[in-house]
Amino acid sequence: MPDVYITRISKFLPNESVSNDEMEQYLGLINKQPSKSKKIILRNNGIKSRYYAINREGKATHTNSEMASLAVKKLFDDNPDEIKDIDLLSCGTSSPDQIMPSHGVMVHGWLPETNNIEVVSLAGVCCSGMHAFKYAFMSVKSGEKNKAVSAGSERLSRILRSEQFEEEVQHLIELEKNPYIAFEKDFLRWMLSDGAGAFLMENKKNPDGISLRVEWIEAYSFANSKEPCMYMAADKLPDGKLKSYKDFSPNEIISKSILSIKQDVKLLSENIVKLGSDKLKDILEKRNQNVEKIDYFLPHTSSCFFEDKLADMLEINGIGIPKEKWFSNLSTKGNVGTCSIYLMLEELFNSGKLKKGQKILLSVPESSRFSYVYSLLTVC
């Protein structure tokens, strides 16, 4: 089977960069009060700026699918007519604009320059962008496709706006409880942001410049043994099971802000680093991959808080990677979920730093029910 190469990488970030001090101007105040947890969360996550697909009044400036399509178009800035040669579009997101039609076909709808092609949508959280990448990789590897595009994108800012929680706050006030949303909801308001990225994959290298040969992609889920940790459009019951939004009344969906994103922070801290590093050790041993030969390590982390914990756990497992080999842009781009790994690799790919023969290890965890995807690339 042919080798598969990432020949181009692009990104689209909406509007202007938003600093920490400006966040509540975009997301709004809940109960007209500044968040009590904001400063603590931002201090720990290390994010200094991010991008939102909304303006200061909370009005949307872009849809998720539109941003993904703009990232795809940027792959062909030097030769716009080449976009007609795409024969696969593979899209991943955790925040589609609608339940139906699928996210992928909505992205395709923004690309009238393309032909009638295969389009797939990968659902999930952070790993869905990597699953989209793997589908495109396998399609080229098998010889089914010649020019495949994968994309990861998120638009979460609208559901982080304060008005999404007003009914819940009023309900809590009536019950004479603390009139602030629960920490597992407020926590994610200061973590997430918007954007899109895209890879072009082909069965031949760039005639000019560098390419990234995809050596392998490995994906694993721990949902068989771990309960949900991050969830949306559901509520978590005492036994750890999820109750779907379909089983709540319309009033309950609003009063309990069921459609907001929630994170079980305790479950996250107990599992996310250990499960992932243990599995990575198994993969590297199976692949007979010497960790010392890795030149760049690109770990998607939701927060800088986890970086030292991940470094320590890798060291314990005998697969330590020196921090000087780590590459991340979390502090300047924020946590863009499924898109983050695209933004990291795009920045490194276009930085001028890469040299032929270098190895790049991608690491993407997903806390929703603890899934992980890893990939090894070679600069050529």
Fold of 215-223+263-379: Peroxisomal Thiolase; Chain A, domain 1 (3.40.47)
Average pLDDT over residues 309-329: 97
Average pLDDT over residues 287-293: 96
| CATH of span 5-164+190-205 | 3.40.47.10
Spatial distance between the Cα atoms of 156 and 340, rounded to a whole number of angstroms = 13
Question: Residue 176 — very low, low, confident or very high, per pLDDT cuts 50/70/90?
Answer: low
Spatial distance between the Cα atoms of 120 and 117, rounded to a whole number of angstroms = 10
Question: Residue 23 — very low, low, confident or very high, per pLDDT cuts 50/70/90?
Answer: very high
Average pLDDT over residues 286-302: 96
Model's pTM, two decimal places? Answer: 0.95
* pLDDT of res. 170: 77
Percentage of the chain modeled with pLDDT above 90: 88
Three-state secondary-structure class, residue 52: coil
* pLDDT of res. 183: 73
Spatial distance between the Cα atoms of 41 and 181, rounded to a whole number of angstroms = 15
Question: Residue 168 — very low, low, confident or very high, per pLDDT cuts 50/70/90?
Answer: confident
DSSP-assigned letter for residue 369: T
* pLDDT of res. 166: 81
Q: Comparing 5-164+190-205 with 215-223+263-379, is the CATH topology the same?
A: yes
* pLDDT of res. 342: 98
Average pLDDT in the chain: 95
Whether residue 76 has pLDDT greater than 90: yes
The residue ranges of every structural domain in the chain are 5-164+190-205, 215-223+263-379
**Hunting for tokens 């399509």 — which residue is that?**
69
Whether residue 31 has pLDDT greater than 90: no
Residue type, 210: I
Residue 25, φ and ψ in degrees, nearest 5: -70, -25
**Hunting for tokens 């032929």 — which residue is that?**
356
Whether residue 36 has pLDDT greater than 90: no
* pLDDT of res. 178: 65
Spatial distance between the Cα atoms of 330 and 157, rounded to a whole number of angstroms = 17
Question: Residue 173 — very low, low, confident or very high, per pLDDT cuts 50/70/90?
Answer: confident
